[in-house]
Amino acid sequence: MRTALVYHEDMTAAQLLWEDPECEIERPERLTAALERLRQWGLEQRCLQLAAREASEAELGLVHSPEYVSLLRGTQTLSTRELQALSGQYDAVYFHPSTFHCARLAVGAALQLVDAVLTGAVHNGLALVRPPGHHSQRAAANGFCVFNNVAIAAKYAKQRHGLHRILIVDWDVHHGQGIQYIFEDDPSVLYFSWHRYEHGHFWPYLRESDADAVGQGQGRGFTVNLPWNQVGMGNADYVAAFLHVLLPVAFEFDPELVLISAGFDSAIGDPEGGYHLESLSQSVCMVVKALLGDPALPLSGPMEPHHSALESIQSVRAAQTPHWTSLRQQGSTPILNPSTYSLERRASPVSPGGPKFKAAEAQASAALSSLLDQLHLNPTLPVRTAVALTALDAALVLPADVLRQEGSAPQEETRAWARLHEALAQDKALTALGKVLHLLNGILDGQVNSGIAATPEPAAAPTLDVVIRRSLSHGARRLLCVAVGQLDRPADLADDGRNLWLNIRGKEAAAPSMFQVSVPLPGTTGGFVSCVLALVLPLAYGFQPDLVLVALGPAHGLQAPRAALLASLLRGPAGGRVLVLLEQGSTSQLAGILARVLQGEAPPGLGPFSMASPEDTQALIYLRGQLEAEWKMLQVAGEAGGARPRLNTGSGGSSSPQ
């Protein structure tokens, strides 16, 4: 199995023994509801199930002081009154006679998962634990957190498995200051956190949660804080944060292990702190589906980041640009804003049961209901990936659950489409076209999620033309075509906003319209990653396609790991609906790698990070400047000064100077 699920029912034992509105939201049902929903969705059965073990006190000592561990050990024999008194010495914490056992299980679950991944038993996994950990510090409990589960897991991976680069991503709505403090001077651990901040008015009310806190000493640049200063951030804001901050830095850092501190209190339907069990359990299920390789739902809503989000992104990029080459390659030089921290009145947390909480809960429940409707309307398809090749090479190795398609479209349909191009009348081209159309029909009809098909080289461009026209005339409302190599956009294809044409390996950087973009193929790893993250994906998410076509045409020059990364990342914008067209002469290795990433496996590594060439950087800067007025996902800062020039929405336009 590819995914582990680590859990132990004893972690539900600790509970609040006295009245405390602030702490009552951290309750055993947060685990039991999530586990029950995993079983209802059939996800637990698809995972390798591991029972959590207790972490040893030596393992706890990788992060916590002996005195603190001893103090927690002593809580097992305290009375309720003594537990309440001790809890009052910390911020938003309660202790129970079972807390020490539960907290050791939570740490042990994380360590078991690290062992399972790093020994190759699984590819990834989820440790379903409580109490949480990211606020806990060396000698202090904080914010429901007793031991710092993720921090101990990182230290353990370094000590036991000899790792040198670990990325921690913390997406909880609250800043994980405990993790930051533990690793702020350690360049072997890159800590990224986005969190609600509100200029310092949101818990934990810390100056060091702002964007200009970048680490200390040798660890400068290895703490990356993205503070949200406005509530109500949506899909566009989070995607922009991924594309313009987290992913560029992560690719440059090249981690050997990624640990996620997965708090779900910023999810739709959860007004405060994991209180809404339905939202929490749905979020856990969606994460497990992603780990299993299931395609994610297409994102809903307008893909235009809030101005406040762009200001935050600009601030963190400005603070981090001196430390990361990848951020300097993406274009505009950001201006470092002064700290946004304010000592003015702090906002009071919303208490469960109060009128503000009930109003927020009602609004969140409505949003969650809409999301659940999407889940019912977009069930997981029976065939995730199909391969339609005219001649299957014996060297081609496919995952067992990838369908080897044998059928073809009806001859009458195939010949009708072939009449559009003389090159398609030849026997080999006609046979290949029939297989392509059969696979495409399966995707458009909802029987297949993604696929790979091959065409003879002389028929590559005509076949792509037919696929575009067939898609737009039979159900695809918006079609993204990423053409790599010597493939020209069909001359009479309407520029009506239903198709977005993006050519990689064009002769020059050009944007004749907002729906026609051409960029040279970058030669270096850093240049290619910047092109994908700063241009291709912002356009793709902004366009919100129903289907993505990736055409690797003649002389595409794309190495297999880069092609796999491109196909893998393009699964996101269209809910996994990706069709890859290959030349029949492509290697079996390339077809096999593409099949695996479309099936949900991680793409192979790109190798050492290397800087983009000045020419590639200039091309990227030029295109972003031309397009960002129309495509808001390209923006990395709030607008300043006068209006930018706007592109034509039809034919015409401009290209970069020679």
In residues, how long is the chain? 658
- Report the amino acid identity of residue 543: F
- Residue 313 CA to residue 214 CA, distance in Å, equals 14
Residue 505: which of 490, 527, 526 has the closest Cα?
Answer: 527
Sheet of 124-127, strand order: 48-51, 3-7, 124-127
Q: Phi, psi (5° rounding) for residue 564?
A: -65, -40
Of 8, 64, 134, 135, which residue is the catalytic one? 135
CA distance 410 to 433: 11
Q: Who's near 529: CB < 8 A, 6+ residues apart?
A: 248, 251, 326, 606, 609
User: 3-state DSSP helix/strand/coil percent for the chain, to nearest 5?
Assistant: 40, 15, 45
* Nearest one of 541, 569, 512, 496 to 632, comparing CA atoms: 541
Instruction: Check: CB of residue 243 under 8 Å from CB of residue 299.
Output: no
What's the chain's Rg over C-alpha atoms?
Answer: 26
**CB under 8 A, 24+ apart: contacts of 371-376:** 371/268, 371/269, 371/282, 372/282, 374/297, 374/300, 375/282, 375/297
C-beta of residue 544 within 8 angstroms of C-beta of residue 631: no
> For the purposes of burial, counting CB atoms within 10 Å of the CB of 574, is it exposed (0-12), middle (13-18) or buried (19 or more)?
buried
Nearest-angstrom CA–CA distance, 515 and 329: 24
Q: What is the DSSP code string of 45-110?
A: GGSEEEE--PPPHHHHTTTS-HHHHHHHHHGGG--HHHHHHHHTTSSS----TTHHHHHHHHHHHH
Dig out the tokens for 181 from the structure.
């403090």
Token couple for 449: 């999620």
Cα 98 from Cα 313, distance rounded (Å): 42
Number of H helices, E strands in the chain: 21, 17
307 catalytic per annotation: no
What three-state secondary structure class fits 562? helix
Q: What angle do CA 473, 477, 478 make, to 5 degrees?
A: 115
End-to-end C-alpha distance for the chain, whole angstroms: 53
Residue 362 φ then ψ, to 5°: -65, -45
> Is 151 within 8 Å of 133 (Cβ atoms)?
yes
Geometric angle at alpha carbon 649, from 645 and 652, rounded to 5°: 85
Q: Cα 378 vs. chain centroid, distance in angstroms?
A: 19
Give strand pairing partners of 453.
Answer: 388, 581
Q: How far apart are CA 420 and CA 222, in angstroms?
A: 56
- DSSP class of residue 140? B
Residues with catalytic annotation?
135
